[in-house]
Chains A and B, each alone.
Chain A
């Protein structure tokens, strides 16, 4: 039994696949690809498969990790080739590697967010407004957690934040807390900014570009 970390890209049509559905989708893909999966030995055996950081519905992921375990020999290149030949549109295996870090070492994630507005003026207003809020260090929002809904200051979960406007589009590059203990969904941040500035966007696109460790080095 050998642990293997798959890195996949999820974009286009696939952003509408929920996390729960991803699980089923990947299980079947691995079966179609005839990868020698290791099955759990319980009453109801199922392939060992763990998504380290669920990606919210509607977001693009450039490099998302998925841990599997295999039995017997198969090279990483072969696994990648086989999986990509059976993947549905929008999901691509970009890398297969040995897990370097433990899943709980994920501490942050980098996002690139595009937000479109009716015109350049509204984009500019949003960009400068958002900057002031983030610099102030206070952006309270209701956050759902396992213990119920509570109000948190989102700024405490932001590791870095850059924002700029170009014509009617605003571009945000931000690093947010991520992981099992503290996590900030980029969508929650964007919605909180939009509602405090009473701004309404025409379209949005959220991309998670990479996962990072506590010291902001890349999670591998």
Chain B
């Protein structure tokens, strides 16, 4: 429920439903009966935040506790921000309408580097100081999780705690600890020092960073007994792990508005550009029985008519056929559509595909990622042109007329030939369509290729690689467009400046906190939205702080350089990543974990077990 004073403004802003709360399954508790009030803050719009599975999990998890109440907070769009600032209305939780500055924990999820300015903006809208050191009281404690916290250094000055890895267990432990320290009237410093002892908790302020003259990191020294290496948190058993049986059902149309259930964490593929594939190792699998029961429960409590079985590579799930076969009878009866994102159509039976499409037909996408086999070997994307064409032909004979292909440019060792290869592959898919004798009459084919730019990320084999500058990427994009000779292929490109900033912050260090604050004070926010990104202001902000952004992106790092995130431990060893980098430059592939364990080292965090290599898996 929104605060009373905002009511008369609600009809003056776009989509007031973003700010009212009151959705089905949203949880309202008596604030006097809980010890901990938790604001789950998503640093982007309602529509994006409400599509995020992590938020749904933690929302239900915290609210399952009698002693805590979790509410949702999203970044208000600019029209609403104006109303709030003009009328001095502090950022509030959607469930109670109470100002979140009075809450105990503000938990941000960082999925994307370009949401950092929104974190500052939300803290400011909450009427709190943006810098952690200026928030001297014990509460609210500002914590952050999500993929970006594998390198939290650029936002180290703003957050009190980050939670690398799986959040399910550590969130509860942190709440317990805060409850205890709050009750005994401890100081923030005392609490932070104690929190740093929990596995999977990183307290940036307890680490002193020194730099060399060439601006690289010289040392990172823990203080107050904080661990030298912060190991990410790993939940070993996904079947007994907390999983929600209810989702808050939004009124507004949001990006993904459906039942979403994870089927496994981690990935067996080892694509060298993919951060998620390395951060989430080792592979841990949910049993088909658990998955099905969770899907059923959520559909019943929400009325959703679509289920998404989610993972990094759905068709690699052992037991997928069995799971789908079990689910089809009740989903077809209830007119529920099953979506399988990240499906490799090459190893999925055609009959099952047809049954899946009995309710509603979904789109067909492939991610070859690179235009030539040579470059696909470099990035270890083990998909061949033949596989793409065979599957496309199959799809065309099944009646599809549109295919989407995902590629990246700016990959290590890339040449003009590789870029031309993207256009050629798209053309080959078009040709495949016209080879089909039963193609629908009078209907053309549409192959759309989406071209992203590589942003080398921490904890991937490409973490040492230079990133193409925006002007080079624009040249490459233009070259690709010039190689496309048919109107049946449409090219959509990413904004190179977006990838550039993303790259700076992905591999940045603590000195970037000043830049982020400067840029935010100049008015930068929603940087991930092309219409809001202000490259000039960012350029000024780097200059004013004496920082060369290309130091973070354009430089090849040496293997022995201390990287700003080296004191974080995600399981995968540096030795393994170096070896993968060397192999990439030689164009050598690494087999999937299913074929042969590559010895990445991540099973160390899971009691030595990886579900992919363990023999107990059915």
Contact = CB atoms under 8 A, between A and B. Distances in A.
Interface in A4-27: 12-14, 16-18, 20-22, 24-25, 27
A145 interface: no
B335 A17 contact: no
B17 A27 contact: no
Nearest to A39: B335
A86 B257 CA distance: 18
A122 to B, nearest CB: 17
A3 to B, nearest CB: 20
A160 B12 CA distance: 29
A89 interface: yes
A13 to B, nearest CB: 4
Given A88-B24, A89-B22, A17 B300 contact: no
A12 B1 CA distance: 10
A131 B22 CA distance: 39
A27 to B, nearest CB: 7
B335 A28 contact: no
Chain B interface mostly helix, strand, loop or mixed? loop
Interface string B289-310: 0000000000011111100000
B304 A13 contact: no
A22 B302 CA distance: 15
B17 A21 contact: yes
A215 to B, nearest CB: 34
B253 A21 contact: yes
Contacts of A99: none
Contact of B253 (A20, A29, A45, A58): A20
Contact of A32 (B15, B20, B22, B302): B302
B479 interface: no
Interface residues of A, number: 28
B23 A31 contact: no
Interface string B1-39: 100000010110001110011111000000000000000
A22 B251 CA distance: 7
B253 A57 contact: no
A90 B249 contact: no
Interface in B146-195: none
Interface string B472-492: 000000000000000000000
Given A16-B20, A57-B16, A24 B253 contact: yes
B23 A88 contact: yes
B303 A16 contact: no
B17 A31 contact: no
Given A17-B251, A28-B249, A31-B305, A90 B22 contact: yes
A100 interface: no
A73 interface: no
A13 B20 contact: yes
Interface in A54-95: 57-58, 86, 88-90
Given A27-B303, A31-B303, A32-B302, A18 B17 contact: yes
B400 to A, nearest CB: 14
Contact of A16 (B10, B249, B335, B360): B10
A45 to B, nearest CB: 6
Given A16-B16, A17-B17, A58-B11, A32 B252 contact: no
Contacts of B300: 32
Interface string B316-345: 000000000000000000110000000000
A44 interface: yes
Interface string B356-382: 000110000000000000000000000
Contacts of B15: 18
A203 B21 CA distance: 21
B1 A13 contact: yes
B303 A32 contact: yes
B431 to A, nearest CB: 28
A88 to B, nearest CB: 4
Contacts of A14: 22
Of residues A12, A18, A202, which shows the largest number of chain B Cβ atoms within 10 Å of its Cβ? Answer: A18
Contacts of A18: 15, 17, 251
A29 B252 CA distance: 15
Rank and list the top 4 A-B pairs by shortest CB-CB distance, nearest first.
A28-B303, A31-B303, A13-B22, A32-B303
23 contacts: A12-B22, A16-B16, A16-B20, A16-B251, A17-B17, A18-B17, A20-B253, A21-B251, A21-B253, A24-B253, A27-B303, A27-B305, A28-B24, A28-B302, A31-B334, A32-B303, A57-B16, A58-B10, A58-B16, A88-B24, A88-B249, A89-B22, A202-B8
Interface of A: 12-14, 16-18, 20-22, 24-25, 27-32, 39, 44-45, 57-58, 86, 88-90, 202-203
